[in-house]
Amino acid sequence: MNMKKGIIIVLFFLAAVELQAQDYNNFKIGKSIEVYSNVMRQLNLNYVDTIHPVDLTDLAIKNMLASLDPYTIYVPEKEKEQFQILTRGEYGGIGAMIQKQDDYVVVTDPYEGFPAQNSGLRAGDKIIKIDGKSAKNMSADEVSNLLKGTPGSKIQVTVQHFGDSTDIAIDMTRQKIKIPNVPYYGVLKDDIGYISLNQFNPNAANDVRNAFLDLKNNHHIKGVILDLRNNGGGLVNEAINIANIFVKRGTEIAKTIGKLQSNDYTYRTTGKVVDADIPLAILVNQNTASASEIVSGSMQDLDRGVIIGQRTFGKGLVQNIVPLPYGGELKVTIAKYYIPSGRCIQAIDYAHKNKQGQPLHVADSLRKAFKTKDGRVVYDGGGITPDVKMKPLMFSQVTGDLYAQNYIFNFANMFAFNHKSISGPDSFSISDSTFNAFKDYVKSKGFSYETETGALLKRLKESAQRENYYQALKPELDSLGQELQSEKKEDLNKHKSEIEELLRLEIVGRYYYQQGKAKASLVNDNEVKKAIQILSDKKEYESILKPKKEEIKDK
């Protein structure tokens, strides 16, 4: 009885402390609002020029939220439509990706089956006018805003096709553009299915389920790869429903814990499982985040699938949309989420910052150990660590610069202009003659780039001049510079394989669009090859999902 009384007293004490802290916070909020309103009033009365209170308030709110975390944002009414486009993954427009090049914006990737592609727009086409208004010197965002509009509305886009200097006015009707959640799925080597998931927007789970059912029922696959690389997440419910494809009804997938009890929630699967036994591999990388980590992390915690790739981003924060007066919205972080083992995989502590004002990363030494369903050791505080770690794909400096400076993009346009067709997306390759033509093109355009070694040599020369060593070192420095230039001339040949890979994918995209490009990208994908190997070998697959002896002793 005395113990019960003690517990009750402690609970009352804690509740009183919490209420007192809340009251003190409310006082500080009231004080801060009063100070802000008085500053605004004094500015309006005394500032030498006319002030714009709405703009100042927007700026004040955005700067205030920037001190918290990057996911808590204010969306004023004028930005709400664009925000909803991002969260829904759909908009009214012509269906084309664009990019600023020199004075004009060009089409980089028309979506197959949408107005831009149906009207004959191709990658490399220059957008000259929109509804008669010159697009010269417009930014990509400005052009994008003009191209968007209500589905069913008319728009005239004047373009110059790649390789032509004639202006052509094309009339189009905007339509609802829905960016697909699953851009590609199919059957790979050894009867292994593959599903690429780009985002967790509405219907993502249905899209994955339909793809999986097609592969399972019509192609009789023996295993499946779910590709979540570069998937930044989205709706939590879609993640739970995707997990439900592979685990039984009633399985806990995630739970959220926040300041308010109303934000505490346990997410369980509610539907009938599609296949609880088929071997599953999930591909992840450092850009796999949020809802993607719920799926990959829960499958790891439940020992349901093998995770392959690199450690994921580590976003364990949950946001909610709160309506504000005058049509605005606040997307606010309300909780952290925890996956079945009990771990939170949030990698950055936004509540604590270093001397430079940057938030702190959770140190590896501070990550706590948890156990999967069968006893394997996993860790919190820094994303999902793959069961099979693989080195990320890294490009050389020369390849990166060729891509960034649009040499690969423009050469692909030239190739498509001169070749009516190519072989299939998974069989097309870059011939020696094509690669040599690319080298000639690059040389003719005066391609230049600076290597890290070149930058260091430049700094060394500057340092030598500053410290009066330059004359003594000049012969050696000049010799190093000449040798570096000589070596740079061979960079295209030294890095031929990776340059050819980017050329191949860019050219395939000209003929087979997004799906063809996705299919072509799998041909030389080492992580996909590793997944096929593991899924095709039952013993290796099962051995990865079994705890090690030391973990069993610890269990």
Q: Name the residues annotated as catalytic.
A: 290, 315
List CB contacts of 445: < 8 A, sequence separation 6 or more. Answer: 407
CB atoms within 10 A of CB 152: 10
- Token duo for residue 162: 């790649």
> Helices marked H in 67-194 — which ranges?
80-88, 115-118, 140-147
Cα–Cα distance between 288 and 522 in angstroms, integer? 18
Q: Residue 437: helix, strand or coil by DSSP?
A: helix
- The one-character DSSP state at 234 is B
3-state secondary structure of 555: coil
CA distances from 75 to 32, 52, 142, 145, 326 (A): 21, 18, 19, 17, 11
* Residues 221 and 187: beta-carbon distance below 8 Å: yes
Helix axis angle, 407-418 to 496-521, nearest 10°: 70
Distance separating alpha carbons of residues 54 and 130, to the nearest angstrom: 31
Whether the Cβ atoms of residue 276 and residue 266 lie closer than 8 Å to each other = no
Q: Where are the alpha helices (DSSP H) in 91-203?
A: 115-118, 140-147
> Which residue is listed with tokens 């700067």?
63
Taking a C-beta distance cutoff of 8 angstroms, is the pair 77, 68 a contact?
no
**334 touches 318 (CB < 8 A):** yes
Q: How many residues does the chain have?
A: 555
Task: Work out the number of other CB atoms within 10 angstroms of the CB of residue 218.
Answer: 9
Which of 152, 159, 172 minimizes the C-alpha distance to 92?
Answer: 152
Interatomic CA distance for residues 104 and 136, integer angstroms: 5
Rounded to 5 degrees, what angle do the CA atoms 460, 462, 467 make?
95
Q: 195: which strand partners?
A: 185, 226
Q: What share of the chain is helix, strand, coil (3-state, %, to 5)?
A: 45, 20, 35
Q: Which helix (H) or strand (E) holds 456?
A: helix 452-466
